[in-house]
C-alpha cells in the first residue's frame, strides 16, 4: 500500500514537471521551458567588437538561464545583448552596457536549424526604433560572428528628437551588417 502511494506520487511529480522544448521552438504551452539543451548559446557569450562607418561597436552577449518570458508565459534560456558605440574620436555615442539585464535592448528569441540565432532590438529612447537581429558564426573557431540588423519601418512624428534631420544626423545605434570579432 505504501509502495503504491509512492508510485502515484512519483507519476504525479513527473506530470507536474514542465515540459522542455529546444531553442528552435517558438510556440509552446504555458509554463513550458525552452532550454538550451545542446548548449548552443554559450559560444556566443562574451564581448564582440567591430567597426563600421568609422564607428566602433562593442557588444556583450550574456546567456540568461531559465528566465521567465511574460510575453509567451514560459521559461527560456536566451541571450541578451548590451552595447557601446564610439565614434572615430572615441566619443561615446550609445552606451547601455550597465543597464539591468531585464531592460536589455537586445533580447534573444530562438535558434534556427542552420545555427542562426534570432534576436530583437527595441529602443523606446530612440522614438521606438526597433528591428530584428540575426547572428551566426563566421568561422569554425567561433571567433567571428556575422551580425545582421533589419530595422522595422516607422513613421516619425514631429515630437521625435531626430524628426526632420538628414540621415547622417539620425541615431544609428547598430550596423546593418558587420563581422564582429571575439575579444
Partner 1 sequence: MNKNLLWPILIGFCILLHSCRVEDDLAQSYKEPQNKFAAFSKNGNAPVSYSKAFEYLYNRYYEIRDIPMKSQNKSGEPVPYTDFRFHSQIMEIENGDKTMIFPVINGNRVIAITAGLIDKEETYLKYYYVSQDYDQYDFAINAFQKLVDQYSNTTNRAIVGGGGGLGDGGDGDTHEIPNIDIQPPKGGGGMYFPLPGNPGACMACPPDDGLPSGDCPKFKACGSNGGGGTAGNNNTDPCTKIADKQRNPKYAAKFNALNKEEVFNMDKERGYYEKQPPLGVNTEAGFVQIDGPPGTTGLDLPDDTTGISGLFHSHNNTDGSIKIFSPTDVRTFINTLIGNAGTYGGGYANAYSTVVTSQGSYTLKFTGKTHPGGIDYYTTKVWDEWYRDEMEKTQDSNGEFPQNKVEDVFNRFLKEIVNKSGLEIFKVTENTAVKMSYNTATKKTDLDPCP
Residue ranges in contact with partner 1 by CB under 8 A:
26-27, 71-72, 109-110, 112-114, 116, 118, 120, 122, 124, 128, 130, 132, 134, 148, 150-158, 163-167, 170
Among 30, 47, 53, 3, which Cα is nearest to 173's? 53
Evaluate whether 118 touches 149 at the Cβ level (below 8 Å).
no
Q: Is 146 exposed, middle or buried (0-12, 13-18, 19+ CB in 10 A)?
A: middle
Kindly tell me which of 56 and 136 has the beta carbon lying closer to partner 1.
Answer: 136
Bridge partner residues of 174 (DSSP): none
- Residue burial 5-42, b: 16+ Cβ < 10 Å; e: rest: eeeeeeeeeeeeeeeebebeeeebeeebbbbbeeebbe
Kindly tell me which of 56 and 116 has the beta carbon lying closer to partner 1.
Answer: 116
Q: In the bound complex, what is the minimum distance in angstroms from residue 171's beta carbon to partner 1? A: 11
Kindly tell me which of 6 and 113 has the beta carbon lying closer to partner 1.
Answer: 113
In DSSP notation, 96-148 reads -TTS-GGG-SEEEEEE-TTS-EEEEEEEGGGTTEEEEEEEEESSTTS-EEEEE
Q: In the bound complex, what is the minimum distance in angstroms from residue 94's beta carbon to partner 1? A: 17
Amino acid at each position: 500500500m505504501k509502495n503504491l502511494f509512492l508510485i502515484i506520487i512519483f507519476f504525479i511529480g513527473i506530470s507536474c514537471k514542465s515540459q522542455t522544448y529546444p531553442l528552435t521552438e517558438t510556440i509552446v504551452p504555458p509554463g513550458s521551458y525552452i532550454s538550451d539543451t545542446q548548449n548552443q548559446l554559450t559560444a556566443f557569450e562574451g564581448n564582440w567588437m567591430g567597426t563600421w562607418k568609422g564607428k566602433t561597436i562593442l557588444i556583450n552577449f550574456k546567456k540568461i538561464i531559465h528566465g521567465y518570458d511574460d510575453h509567451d508565459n514560459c521559461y527560456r534560456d536566451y541571450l541578451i545583448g548590451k552595447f557601446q558605440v564610439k565614434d572615430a574620436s572615441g566619443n561615446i555615442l550609445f552606451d547601455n552596457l550597465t543597464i539591468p539585464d531585464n531592460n536589455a535592448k537586445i533580447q534573444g528569441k530562438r535558434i534556427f536549424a542552420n545555427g542562426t540565432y534570432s534576436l530583437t532590438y527595441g529602443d523606446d529612447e530612440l522614438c521606438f526604433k526597433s528591428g530584428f537581429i540575426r547572428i551566426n558564426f563566421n568561422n569554425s573557431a567561433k571567433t567571428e560572428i556575422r551580425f545582421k540588423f533589419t530595422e522595422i519601418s516607422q513613421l516619425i512624428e514631429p515630437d521625435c528628437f531626430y524628426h526632420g534631420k538628414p540621415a547622417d544626423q539620425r541615431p544609428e545605434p547598430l550596423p546593418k551588417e558587420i563581422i564582429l570579432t571575439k575579444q
